[in-house]
Amino acid sequence: MKTITKEFRELKRATLTEEYGAEYQFKLWEKGNHSRVYVNYRGKRSVGYIDLKTGIYTGDNNETYLAMVNEFMDKYMEEV
């Protein structure tokens, strides 16, 4: 099972930039026993979220979005 790193939990947000300069923002959302990381393209358009209970991304399956989600998961998620 995976969880987010302590670093990301403290920051509650991260920005990753793809090779063409487009920015993707990852924002932590928690309510009750639900935790998600929402993915926003260029800071405005939500393209999906990562459910932290399951570690599954739900949203737009655009190849570029998936690559950025995978990059985020490699950088800010760890095995528990």
Position 79 confidence tier, pLDDT thresholds 50, 70, 90: confident
What would the pLDDT profile of 25-66 be if each residue is shown by its tens digit? 999 999 999 999 999 998 789 999 999 988 899 999 999 899
Tell me the pairing of strands 45-51 and 56-59. antiparallel
pLDDT for residue 72: 94
Length of the chain equals 80
Q: So where are the chain's domains? A: 2-79
What would the pLDDT profile of 9-26 be if each residue is shown by its tens digit? 999 999 999 888 889 999
Q: Which amino acid is at 53?
A: K
Reported as type and span, the H/E element at residue 74 is helix 63-76
Residue 33: count other Cβ atoms within 10 Å of its Cβ.
Answer: 6
pLDDT for residue 27: 96
Please give the model's pTM, rounded to 2 decimal places.
0.89
